Amino acid sequence: MAGLIAPVARLIEEFSKLPGVGRKTAQRLTYHMLRAPSDEARGLAQALVAIKEQVAYCGVCCNITDIGIDPCDTCSDARRDATRICVVEEPLDVLAIERTGEFRGRYHVLHGAISPIDGIGPDQIRARELVVRVAAGGIDEVILATNPNLEGEATAMYLAELIEPHVSLVSRIARGLPVGGDLEYADDVTLIRSLQGRRQVEHS
């Protein structure tokens, strides 16, 4: 990058790889870190390394967990309803639903949604793990809480076809959420209404 010394140009380049961060934002973040105390920069660097070295995925629900804690705290909580699974796209969606206090079952995190235009197919998300989990038995209901956009709807319909032979009820969260929105930005009341108004998935 012309006019910039290598360490600055490199950090701008790395920041710009983050989702939602454009070139100007990457530059502002870089110059903020340049002006910040050394302890702040070291703290950020250590946190970035720790998230890769100390965080793992639960072998049951695929949500994030601490290294060495598998299954995760939610899956091992005997107070939660093991017969109901809420399927979400990302770990942040679990936090959003947990804030409502409405759902006391277990989760399954897909880590994405089917999006052919972005080259994301069923094999790039944790769909296979969900099917294996449901096929093992003991599940009464699967709630498909993928985002209410084209990718989320396509993912929900795909999953419904796969798991319907193995579970008595497959439901979809109601339209309390705006089409095109993300669960992590929804308010608690909207999420509660969506969970309460979920419906069974039907095929034409």
Average pLDDT for the chain:
92
Helix (H, G, I), strand (E, B) or coil at 87: strand
Q: What mean pLDDT do residues 20-33 have?
A: 96
Q: Which residue has the tokens 């277990």?
A: 106
Range from 47-51, 88-92, 117-121 carrying the lowest mean pLDDT: 117-121
Non-local CB neighbours of 84 within 8 Å, separated by 6+ positions: 103, 105, 106, 139, 140, 141, 142, 143
Instruction: Please state whether the predicted TM-score (pTM) of the whole model is above 0.85.
Output: no
CATH class in words for 77-200: alpha beta
Structure tokens at 148: 């209410």
**Amino acid 25: pLDDT:** 97
pLDDT at position 132 over 70: yes
**Amino acid 85: pLDDT:** 98
Side-chain half-sphere exposure of 122, counting CA atoms within 13 A:
14
**Amino acid 199: pLDDT:** 76
Where are the domains positioned within the chain?
Answer: 6-53, 77-200
**Amino acid 41: pLDDT:** 94
pLDDT digits (tens, 9 = 90+) for 159-202: 999 999 999 999 998 776 677 778 888 888 778 878 877 778 87
**Amino acid 98: pLDDT:** 96
Using CA atoms, how far residue 158 sits from 36, 110, 164, 173, in Å, is 48, 13, 10, 15
State the fold for domain 6-53: Helicase, Ruva Protein; domain 3 (1.10.8)
Name the nearest CA neighbour of 89 among 108, 72, 68: 108
pLDDT digits (tens, 9 = 90+) for 52-75: 999 999 999 999 999 999 999 999
Banded pLDDT at 203 (limits 50, 70, 90):
low
Banded pLDDT at 204 (limits 50, 70, 90):
low
Give the angle 44-49-52 at the CA atoms, nearest 5°. 130
